[in-house]
Amino acid sequence: MNNQKIGFIGAGNMARSLIGGLVASGVNNTNLFATDASDEIRTALSNDFSIQTFTDNQTLVDECDVIVFAVKPQVLKTVATSINAKESALYITIAAGIPSDSLDRWLGVNKAVVRSMPNTPSLVLSGASGLFANSHVTNKQKEIAESILRAVGVTVWVEDEAQLDAVTALSGSGPAYFFMVMEAMEKAGVELGLSAETARLLAIQTGFGSTKLALEIDDSPEELRNKVTSPGGTTEQAIKTFEQQGLVETFSKAMKAAHDRAEVLAEELGK
Give the CATH number, domain containing residue 112.
Answer: 3.40.50.720
Query: CA neighbours within 13 Å on the CB side: how many for 37?
Result: 3
Q: H or E element: which one contains 63?
A: helix 57-63
Q: Is the pLDDT of residue 2 over 80?
A: no
Same domain, 122 and 180: no
Q: Give me the pLDDT at residue 1, please.
A: 66
Same domain, 119 and 244: no
Cβ contact 148:66 at 8 Å: yes
Q: Give me the pLDDT at residue 271, please.
A: 81
Q: Helix crossing, 247-269 with 234-244: angle to 10°?
A: 50
Domain count, the chain: 2
Same domain, 16 and 142: yes
Same domain, 51 and 152: yes
Which of 143-147, 154-158, 182-186, 265-269 has the lowest average pLDDT?
A: 265-269
Same domain, 81 and 130: yes
State pLDDT tens for residues 132-176: 999 999 999 999 999 999 999 999 999 999 999 999 999 999 999
Same domain, 75 and 149: yes
Give the percent of the chain with pLDDT over 90.
Answer: 95
Which of 119, 143, 164 corresponds to the end of one domain?
164
Cβ contact 158:115 at 8 Å: no
